[in-house]
Amino acid sequence: MTFLPSLIFVAMEAGMQMQIPLFNGDDHEIWSTKMRTLLMARDLWDVVAIGVSEENTHQESDKKRQKDVRIKDMTALHMLQTSVTESIFYRIGRATSSKQAWEILKADYGETEAMQLRKSGLLVREYFDMKMKNEESFHEFSERFMKVVNRSKFYGSVVPDQTIIDKIRRSLTPWFCQTVFSRLSVEENYTLKEFVYTLREIEREQALRIPMENIGMLLKQQEREAIESFFYQ
């Protein structure tokens, strides 16, 4: 029984190591970043990036080294084959090296510099046009907003945190500003993380308090009606 925690840790670690990102044809840049990190962690990225050179040699040490490199290459190729859907597998199924498979996927699904610039421009426009909807909570809005911010950062658009905070302030609904944002301490020098977290917490506290206030108002109304019915019946 004393070995159980360590066994659980090993099992969890092994499970984490087996998680290969699946590519379905969308967002190649995101998938390739995750996949490259995984290949680096497994010490396989060098054969994917550089490739494997086939050299004729009679030295046993060189033959063993070439065999080891070839095994690494086939391991990386297998991981790439496993990481794509069946329809995409047909594109790389005949690749004989991991480098060849990687380059096929990049050529077919990767984004050119012009495509990335266009996507970055669309994200910037979405960022400036974004407003909090009347029917959504701040938690929902902030998640939607930060998703755009983080995607913009991924494509190279770096916006200072204070600029993002100012944009959030301008994007809030009048009702939210009156009921929640007004309770925010204006003297605090918030970081972006603290700003979003604090507003979420104030909103959550407000949501918990409002039902109790409504119940209190309802009880007072019922009590008033009971008194009136007693005296004016």
Q: What pLDDT, in 10s, does the model give residues 60-110?
A: 667 788 899 999 999 999 999 999 999 999 999 999 999 999 999 999 999
Least confident of 2-11, 32-41, 47-56, 173-182: 2-11
108-147 pLDDT tens trace = 999 988 998 898 899 999 999 999 999 899 999 999 999 9
Residue at token pair 């960022």: 127
Pair (187, 135) in one structural domain:
yes
CA-closest candidate to residue 99, choices 122, 69, 77 = 77
Say whether both 214 and 105 belong to one domain.
no
Residue 4 reports pLDDT greater than 50: no
Residues 62 and 78 reside in one and the same domain: yes
Q: Is the pLDDT of residue 231 over 50?
A: no
Number of structural domains found in the chain: 2
DSSP for 172-229 reads: S-HHHHHHTGGGS-TTS---HHHHHHHHHHHHHHHHHHHHHHHHHHHHHHHHHHHHHH
Residues 122 and 96 in one domain: no
| Buried/exposed 20-39: b ≥16 CB within 10 Å, e otherwise | eeebeeeebbebbebbeebb
Structure confidence by residue, pLDDT tens digits, 40-68: 999 999 999 999 887 655 566 677 888 99
Are both 121 and 26 inside the same structural domain?
Answer: no
Of 60, 84, 109, which closes a domain?
A: 109
Of the three residues 75, 90, 109, the one that is the final residue of a domain is 109
Same domain as 98, residue 25? yes
pTM higher than 0.85 for the full model?
no
SS3 category, 85: coil
**Domain of 24?**
4-109
Q: Do 140 and 226 share a domain, yes or no?
A: yes
DSSP label of 93: T
Same domain, 146 and 69: no
233 - beta bridge partners? none
**Predicted local confidence at residue 18, as pLDDT:** 58
Q: Does residue 117 share a domain with residue 105?
A: no
Residues 119 and 213 reside in one and the same domain = yes
pLDDT in the model for residue 10: 44
For residues 62 and 133, state if they share a domain: no
Alpha carbon of residue 3 to chain centroid = 35
Q: What is the pLDDT of residues 15-45, one digit of tens each?
A: 445 589 999 999 999 999 999 999 999 999 9
Q: Which of 84, 109, 134 is the last residue of a domain?
A: 109
- Position 206 scores a pLDDT of 80
Question: CA 216: distance to chain centroid?
Answer: 42
Residues 141 and 68 in one domain: no
More confident of the two residues 153 and 9:
153
